[in-house]
Amino acid sequence: MEHRIAEPSPSVAPVKDGPQASWRDLREWLALIERNGELQRIDTPVNPDEELAAITYMATRTEKTRALLFENLTGDKSGSRVLANMLGSSKERYALAVGLDPDLTTAEMIAETRGLMNRRIPPKRIPKSQAPVNEIVLRGDDIDLTKFPTPKFWPGDGGRYIGTGDITLTASPDTGRINVGCYRQMLHGPRRVGLYCSPGKHGGLDREAWWKQGKPCEVVVAYGIDPVLFMLAAQVFGSKESEFDVAGGIMGRGIELTDGETGSLPIPAQAELVIEGTVTQGDVETEGPLGEFTGYYGRERSPQPVIEVKALHMRKNPILTAALMAKYPSCEIGAYYAIMRSARILDDLERIGVPGVVGAYAHPAAASGWGIVVVSLQQQYAGHAAQVLALAAQCPAAAYYTKWIIAVDDDVDPTDFNEVMWALSTRCHPAEDIDILKKTWSTGLDPSQFEMERRPYGSKALIDACKPHRHLKAFPQTTLLRREVYERVTARWAELGFDEPPPRLTTFHKD
């Protein structure tokens, strides 16, 4: 495997033990991934109207695609560039974002991610004059967002979406907690942007709380942002928690914020392009649909609130982050989402206190990690697998959407779908090993229920693909290598003419 470099940049001083991101902003991270052969620059002209998304989709039909930096966009009047497939299906780029070794296995990254996501470091304020995002600051009528190369992704999209790879800040009027969410934003005009939050999302709840007090809701949005803030904006945390604290924990130092121009919300100091604005109750425009992570168009056109833009901050030649939503492996929420969701499922199961759970994986090919969860366990008592299945199905991190929950024994790696298929095909007896849960937590984005009103009510299949507990002792022995022979062959692997390292095997034949 090619050598990868994760050395710290000289400008970043480590502040604590454990993994730490070695970059300061999106540009330093791009330099890091470029040194690792993970960035493709495209400098021939590309039209943001469907062509950019088409190139991204076509390039990402295989898993090992580099991040794509479009440097020459037809019709652009702002000197901007567009970054697509920032993380995509690459666990290596995920690792380079969070400061892990890119050569770890997926299961190892999930284990490390549990530690990273449980650290908290609050953000820190820096003076406006020191914030790179303040290189250019515009107010009021000087702002024209239509000058930016805003992509239209899919032919059936309702318009151009400036916000896909975005982070959106709102504050709770009661506690001041700053939420960071990723919500889609359709461009309506030079200073008007749609803001779609589905029911229950924190950005939407903050918005309603301000409206209840008869006040407009302030928002700050970054349309060019680094990978860690982007990832965390699309993860659910407690309604009282700020994603900034989690991001700081992952980075190993506080996220730098600075004061805004027109409102009281802070702005991310290292971002590429940021707007400040307000959302006023009753100010709506027709929004949607947008091609979604499911591989289908999401919500139909409907009236949605609009951000009235008051100020704009940007670096020169800003890099806008565009997140293509598509079937795996073309979806921006690919590898990272699967890893983070799996880490949180393991945290939930540990917190509940169920013993014997070894691993979990929400495979990104299953609608970006939403559709299927595989849990591995070391069976310790009768009913153990059924217990793990039921708890995994309904724990907070896994309950939304997931349709298929599969339990496998600890000799099966949940991140390896070939092994999971093998377990399903040899240890599972469908007539006995499948239970169904009904009226579970689902989403209007799942098209399998045809009537829109029924879609929020899902169902889940609990599939026991473990060796039947009743027959554990009598269950046929798995064909495994003898350890001593494996080690002998491993030592001779190169001599035998193999270029790649030998496979890592961990379970062996017992006489």
Site string for ligand FMN, 213-252 (x = CB under 6 A): --------------------xxxx----------------
Select from 198-206, 213-221, 379-387, 432-440 the region that touches ligand FMN (CB under 6 A).
198-206
341 lies in the binding site for Mn ion (CB under 5 A): no
How many residues make contact with ligand FMN (CB under 6 A)? 20
CB 360 within 8 A of CB 349: yes
**Separation between Cα atoms, residue 21 and residue 100, nearest integer Å:** 8
182 binds, among Mn ion, ligand FMN, none (CB under 5 to 8 A by kind): ligand FMN
188 binds, among Mn ion, ligand FMN, none (CB under 5 to 8 A by kind): none
Find the shortest distance in angstroms from Cβ 340 to Mn ion.
Answer: 14
Select from 16-24, 86-94, 179-187, 476-484 the region that touches ligand FMN (CB under 6 A).
179-187
Find the shortest distance in angstroms from Cβ 117 to ligand FMN.
Answer: 14
Q: What DSSP string describes 198-233?
A: -TT-HHHHHHHHHHHTT-PEEEEEEEE--HHHHHHH
160 binds, among Mn ion, ligand FMN, none (CB under 5 to 8 A by kind): none
By DSSP bridging, strand 457-464 and strand 404-409 are parallel
Find the shortest distance in angstroms from Cβ 408 to ligand FMN.
Answer: 28
- For residue 100, give the nearest of 117, 112, 87 by alpha carbon: 112
72 binds, among Mn ion, ligand FMN, none (CB under 5 to 8 A by kind): none
Binding-site member from 203, 277, 291, 414 for ligand FMN (CB under 6 A): 203
Binding-site member from 47, 146, 198, 443 for ligand FMN (CB under 6 A): 198
CB 259 within 8 A of CB 266: yes
Q: Give the list of residues 6+ apart from residue 17 with CB closer than 8 angstroms, or none.
A: none
344 lies in the binding site for Mn ion (CB under 5 A): no
Q: Which is nearer to ligand FMN, 132 or 329 (CB)?
A: 329
Select from 46-54, 102-110, 133-141, 180-188 the region that touches ligand FMN (CB under 6 A).
180-188
- Helix 335-352 and helix 106-117, axial crossing angle in degrees, nearest 10: 60
Select from 34-42, 199-207, 359-367, 410-418 the region that touches ligand FMN (CB under 6 A).
199-207
Binding-site member from 153, 196, 370, 401 for ligand FMN (CB under 6 A): 196
Q: Give the list of residues 6+ apart from residue 180 with CB closer than 8 angstroms, or none.
A: 167, 168, 169, 229, 232, 233, 242, 243, 244, 247
Find the shortest distance in angstroms from Cβ 45 to ligand FMN.
Answer: 25
Region of residue 131 (left: phi > 0; alpha: psi -120 to 50; beta: else):
beta
Q: Which is nearer to ligand FMN, 319 or 406 (CB)?
A: 319
Give the number of other Cβ atoms within 10 Å of residue 92's Cβ. Answer: 21
Site for ligand FMN in 137-166 (CB under 6 A): 164
Q: Which is nearer to Mn ion, 167 or 325 (CB)?
A: 167
With b for 16 or more beta-carbon neighbours within 10 A and e for fewer, the 381-409 pattern comes to eeebbbbbbbbbbbbebbbebbbbbbbbb
**Separation between Cα atoms, residue 408 and residue 384, nearest integer Å:** 11
**Separation between Cα atoms, residue 325 and residue 168, nearest integer Å:** 18
What three-state secondary structure class fits 396? helix
Give the number of other Cβ atoms within 10 Å of residue 425's Cβ. Answer: 9
Select from 82-90, 107-115, 200-208, 377-385 the region that touches ligand FMN (CB under 6 A).
200-208
Q: Which is nearer to ligand FMN, 36 or 242 (CB)?
A: 242
**Separation between Cα atoms, residue 77 and residue 30, nearest integer Å:** 23
Site for ligand FMN in 445-464 (CB under 6 A): none
Give the number of other Cβ atoms within 10 Å of residue 338's Cβ. Answer: 27
- For residue 263, give the nearest of 294, 218, 202 by alpha carbon: 218
Residue number of the CB atom closest to Mn ion = 202
197 lies in the binding site for ligand FMN (CB under 6 A): yes
36 binds, among Mn ion, ligand FMN, none (CB under 5 to 8 A by kind): none
202 lies in the binding site for Mn ion (CB under 5 A): yes
Q: Which is nearer to ligand FMN, 88 or 181 (CB)?
A: 181
Binding-site member from 20, 60, 134, 179 for ligand FMN (CB under 6 A): 179
Find the shortest distance in angstroms from Cβ 198 to Mn ion.
Answer: 13
185 lies in the binding site for Mn ion (CB under 5 A): no
CB 388 within 8 A of CB 407: yes
Q: Which is nearer to Mn ion, 348 or 409 (CB)?
A: 348
- For residue 342, give the nearest of 310, 364, 313, 367 by alpha carbon: 364
184 binds, among Mn ion, ligand FMN, none (CB under 5 to 8 A by kind): ligand FMN
Binding-site member from 66, 91, 191, 202 for ligand FMN (CB under 6 A): 202
Select from 124-132, 199-207, 215-223, 408-416 the region that touches Mn ion (CB under 5 A).
199-207
Q: What DSSP string describes 262-296?
A: SSSSEEETT-SEEEEEEEEEEEEEEE---B-TTSS
- Please give the helix or strand (H or E) that residue 125 lies within, else none: strand 124-125
Upstream peptide bond of 289 is cis (omega within 30 degrees of 0): yes
Binding-site member from 113, 164, 179, 235 for Mn ion (CB under 5 A): 179
Q: Which residue's structure tokens are 């349709």?
A: 403
Binding residues (CB under 5 A) for Mn ion: these are: 179, 202
Binding site for ligand FMN (CB under 6 A): 164, 179, 181-184, 196-198, 201-203, 233-236, 323, 325, 332-333
